Amino acid sequence: MAHLLRHHSFTSTSVWTEARLHHQAYASIKLSNHRQGRWKTNGKRRASGNGCVVQCCTSSSSSAAAKPGVELTGNAEEDNNGRWEEKEEEEPLYLASEYGWKVRRLEEDQPEIKKVAEIQAEAFHQPMAFFDDLFFQFFQAEVLAGLMYKLRNSPPNRYACLVAESPSDANSESKTELVGVVDVTALRDEAVLQHLQGADEYLYVSGLAVSKRFRRRKIGSCLLKACEMLSVLWGFKYLVLRAYEDDLGARTLYANAGYRVVSGDPPWLTSWIGRRRRVLMIKQSNFLNLINSTFQS
């Protein structure tokens, strides 16, 4: 995971502000206030296969230009010179593209929402001794209802559900498949903010899940990088998550992505009532390092 440093040194507020101004001056990304999360790039949209991968300067974004032979489809519209040309259908904006996976924001598409709920329910369901199938169906319905509520009622720059896609075969009719998911929410819990120097809000990463058939294939790492890219686009300095203390696999994944443990659940939430102890892990989003890793990938 060369694109993510294991440890980040904390920079001053002035350095972070300078990095954000640098980003605003050169980044080619523009987020629209669209509740469904359809994002656009500045300038004229061009055909680019499965969509455009996020680039972090105007010179790099030109590499997403249309490939020769790609035909635009959709409605025709007139330009300022009175010429008519076909209007390209809107393509999704990918926040990360690594190891063959691409991560974008989930739209309010019913089949995709159901698939996301299925992946998260499969990952977090606790098997029951009796009537396990019935309890799983109830749990999946609960996950689906919660996801739909957040998508419909959250401001577009305060919550996002990010999904990872499998690569599509250009030589076949097979379509991309959703293989992973993670939730990102803007929060301001005082118990967390005491560990975040100079911040009054942070991005909370939760619900990271990968389909069973695709685990141990770097999808989680790609999802975490997309979360960091989103923190830069939204202007958040810190990313925060919680992991079970005894879940060494998950903690290793987060540590390799640059998260470090800063605290744990108090005893009255764990040993006294028999609940698994969680640790709080944070990462400072570093714009300059993210730019460098984007150019290297």
Instruction: Write out the catalytic residue numbers.
Output: 254
Q: Provide the H-helix boundaries in the chain.
A: 13-26, 58-61, 110-124, 132-153, 190-193, 219-234, 248-256, 287-296
- The label of the residue with tokens 């685990």 reads 215
138 in helix, strand or coil?
A: helix
Cα–Cα distance between 236 and 254 in angstroms, integer?
A: 18
- Strand positions, DSSP E, 49-122: 52-53, 76-78, 84-86, 93-98, 101-105
Among 7, 94, 88, 24, CA closest to 52: 94
Q: Which of 241, 246, 237 is nearest to 184 (CA)?
A: 241
User: Which residue shows structure tokens 């509740």?
Assistant: 35
Per-residue tokens: 71: 């035909």
Q: Dihedral (C-alpha) 108, 109, 112, 116: value to the nearest 10 degrees?
A: 20
Q: Which residue type sits at 64? A: A
Instruction: Using the CB atoms, write b or e for 160-194: b if 16+ within 10 Å.
Output: bbbbbbbeeeeeeeeebebbbbbbbbbeeeeebbe
